[in-house]
Amino acid sequence: MKGPAALLVATAVTLAVTAAIAGHEFPVYPSYYPHEIRIQTVAPADAPGLLSKSGIHAYVGSGVQFGASLPDSIGAVDSLGSFIVVRVNPASPVARDEASTCAVARTVVREIAAHPGEVKVHPYPVTPLHGDYLYHADLAEAAKSRLLDDSVGASIHHLRLRATGAAAERLARREWLAPQGAWDAAIEEVSAAQLLAEASTRLNGWLGPPWLKAGWFQAALLFGPDVEGSPERNRAKADLVRLQAGAYDGAVERINLERDLVRSLAAGCRTTIAGYTLKREYVSTEYSAGIENIGFDSIAGLESPLFIRTVKLKDFPWNGWLSLGVDGPPAAAWNPVAGFSDGFGRLMWSTLADPALLPAPYDAGWIFNRISDVQGSAGR
């Protein structure tokens, strides 16, 4: 009996090992892409109720208020919301020369810094949310000391201000507001998502330009109207041309060009970056009806192809029915050549288009849309 028993045990072990190897599961899932995605316009005031009962799984947009505490079934993601820009009026009598112009800009930035809250005071166009911030960290600290250190330069006791944007209006001192007539400086709120949307191209599986998320490129967009004229601006224009043409030898020269570009753009005080705001977006993380595995972009937030390609419904191993709310109705043409240029359209195009590369979520570079076995090369 010992012989047959030993044979039976050996056979069982062999079958068990064979069954474990022959399972139908893939070692890596290509995507959790939902097979049905619904995008609907939802007013910010209605979003909390819909999210709490999983009527929508995520709200792509800002302006949602949950009160003092966030429910356990709701998650939040933060991304770059807007830049706060201070522009000095060249016709102002208190901005007669470079020194007085800098005094005006310094006064406004210090006034903003004296009332901390929704704005992160950061007087440099490349923020910690940009993937290339480490290349600019020392320049950002120097700019902060130059504008906020009380021992550096004097402030002005009274100014006439204009404010554009909700955050800018809350930041301006009430008694200084001059919505009509002469003005000395303006505080403007520039949406980061809109800034990138106007500079990006989405066509035929291609998303670009390649430097879309780089801090130096966004700095060039912010200072764009002031690029011409002074020697610093002319140097900035030349550096920008070289960066976009790839006319540099290696990473060290490229990084130095990027630093020089931003330094030239930020020279002077006619246009000054005072700081930035964060955009908070909400998702349902309810135990069974919510979503998980959420990827988002440090600049665009949930309005990104990465979110659509990583989001997974909890009650499905993969696929499922995803419902999204957005903060504005469709207003642009529905075609990939001249349309999909509003928030609704960009999100819809993210679900329809199939680019080879996607913006890296926390970097200035790119990642593959699909799994790929790419062999590295030491050549350029």
Sign of CA dihedral 260, 265, 269, 274: negative
Sign of CA dihedral 363, 368, 374, 378: negative
Comparing CA positions, the residue from 337, 375, 59, 33 lying closest to residue 203 is 337
Residue 98: inside a domain, yes or no?
Answer: no
What is the Cα 67 distance to its own chain's centre? Answer: 25
pLDDT of residue 2: 45
The first and second tokens of residue 267, run together, are 């020279």
Collect contacts of 339-347 with beta carbons under 8 A, ≥24 apart: 340/202, 341/197, 343/60, 343/61, 343/193, 343/303, 344/39, 344/41, 346/197, 346/202, 346/303, 347/39, 347/60, 347/303, 347/308
Domain count within the chain: 1
Residue 230: inside a domain, yes or no?
Answer: no
Residue 48: inside a domain, yes or no?
Answer: yes
Percent helix, strand, coil in the chain, to 5, is 35, 20, 45
Comparing CA positions, the residue from 135, 159, 354, 121 lying closest to residue 253 is 135
The first and second tokens of residue 205, run together, are 């599986």
**Domain boundaries, position 283:** 36-79+278-368
Residue 253: inside a domain, yes or no?
Answer: no
The first and second tokens of residue 316, run together, are 């499905």
Residue 97 exposed, middle or buried by CB count within 10 Å (0-12, 13-18, 19+): exposed
Half-sphere exposure of 134 (CA within 13 A, CB side): 4
Q: What pLDDT tens digit does each residue of the chain (380 aa) get?
A: 444 443 333 333 333 333 444 444 455 555 567 888 999 999 999 999 999 998 999 999 988 999 888 999 999 999 999 999 999 998 999 988 988 999 999 999 998 988 778 799 999 999 999 999 999 999 999 999 888 887 666 678 889 999 988 888 888 888 898 878 899 999 999 999 888 888 888 776 678 899 999 999 999 999 875 555 578 878 999 999 999 999 999 999 999 999 999 999 998 889 999 999 999 999 999 999 999 888 999 999 999 888 988 888 988 877 789 999 998 888 888 777 777 888 888 888 888 888 888 899 999 999 888 766 666 665 54
CA distances from 226 to 192, 212, 317, 343 (A): 19, 20, 52, 28
Residue 348: inside a domain, yes or no?
Answer: yes
Sign of CA dihedral 218, 219, 225, 230: negative
pLDDT of residue 10: 35
What is the Cα 140 distance to its own chain's centre? Answer: 19
Residue 336: inside a domain, yes or no?
Answer: yes
pLDDT of residue 133: 96
Give me the DSSP letters along 243-295. Answer: HHHT-SSHHHHHHHHHHHHHHHHH-SSSEEEEEEEEEEEEEE--TTTSEES--
Residue 241: inside a domain, yes or no?
Answer: no
Backbone angles phi, psi at 323, to 5 degrees: -120, 125
Residue 351: inside a domain, yes or no?
Answer: yes
